Amino acid sequence: MSDCHCDTRRVGRDSDASGEFFWGGCADNVHYAATFARRFIDSKDRKSRDGRALMNLHNNRAGRKVTL
């Protein structure tokens, strides 16, 4: 892999019938995804300033904040 977006804060431990296992260091690039989603999803509503567009922008922002 030429471009790794490892996140050393992401670690975990679990077990199943095969035994215990650990993981860590790899994660999705959620910051890139949030930026892409903001540009893609908010683009139509940013062009308008009516109440519905402002509500959509607020809800989209709140959703991104909760997931990050």
Asked whether residue 21 is assigned to any structural domain, the reply reads yes
Using CB atoms within 10 A of its CB, is residue 9 exposed (0-12), middle (13-18) or buried (19+)?
Answer: exposed
On whether residue 30 sits in a domain, the answer given is yes
Supply the angle between the helices 30-46 and 51-67 in degrees, to the nearest 10: 180
Task: Please state whether beta strands 7-16 and 19-25 pair in parallel, antiparallel, or not at all (unpaired).
Answer: antiparallel
> pTM to 2 decimals?
0.53
Does residue 34 form part of some domain? yes
Residue with tokens 């892999």: 1
How many domains, the chain?
1
The boundaries of the domain holding residue 50 are: 7-67
For 1-36, the pLDDT digits (tens) are 455 566 666 667 777 888 887 766 666 677 788 888
